[in-house]
Structure 1
């Protein structure tokens, strides 16, 4: 499968534990390379978990196994008290055959499998 760079903005994983540390909340962040709202970024930034989940599950232009979608869905599940579902979403992202590079909310670039592994590891640490 072709590996391509998509300039997405995913929430910094550290924001899972402390939302106040997320990237500048005043800047409107939107998906690049996806239909606006497909990855629920604006809703996640606002803490509007119901809208983010609805957008992520609508899968407008995003496949069910897209790792960026699964990473953000895991973020929603973690924020709404569904840790088992969050861990399952991140594990699905790791297992996805469609990994690519993404730009994170803090401006760093990583691969989707690395982002998902980090989310799962941080969740595992936080759950202890």
Structure 2
């Protein structure tokens, strides 16, 4: 099982693989910038999306999908965010990640939390 570290935003249960002091968040176990970690941390959604889209990380990688979902949600594309998190949840290749608060959680759990947090709100908004 692959083990990576993940930065989970305190207000939302979404991730970006990272291990570094809070001032300089970067990916751990991936090419730097491949998951848009630093851009997500600073709220630069365009740069984050560009980094994720141009990276060589497999499109089915759950960490990539979780981060892409975060970008989509933050840029008013909730349907795309939910789709990305559902794909992350459906991945057969989950692995443990370390959250910003030092907890170890499966990428499956991170995807489940993102969906639980946002799915109801998105459904309500589209009614």
TM-score, structure 2 length as denominator? 0.84
Cα distance, 1:13 vs structure 2 = 6.1
Cα distance, 1:120 vs structure 2 = 0.5
Cα distance, 1:26 vs structure 2 = 5.3
For structure 1, which runs of at least 5 residues remain unmatched after alignment? 17-24
Which residue matches 1:4?
2
Q: How does 1:1-128 map to 2 (within 5 A)?
A: 3-7=1-5, 9-12=6-9, 14-15=11-12, 27-60=23-56, 62-127=57-122, 128=124
Separation in 1 of the partners of 2:25 and 2:121? 27
Aligned residue-pair number? 116
For structure 2, which runs of at least 5 residues remain unmatched after alignment? 14-20
Kept in 2, the 8 Å contact 1:12–1:106? The answer is no
Instruction: Report the RMSD for the aligned CA atoms in angstroms.
Output: 1.7
- Runs (4+) off by over 6 Å: none
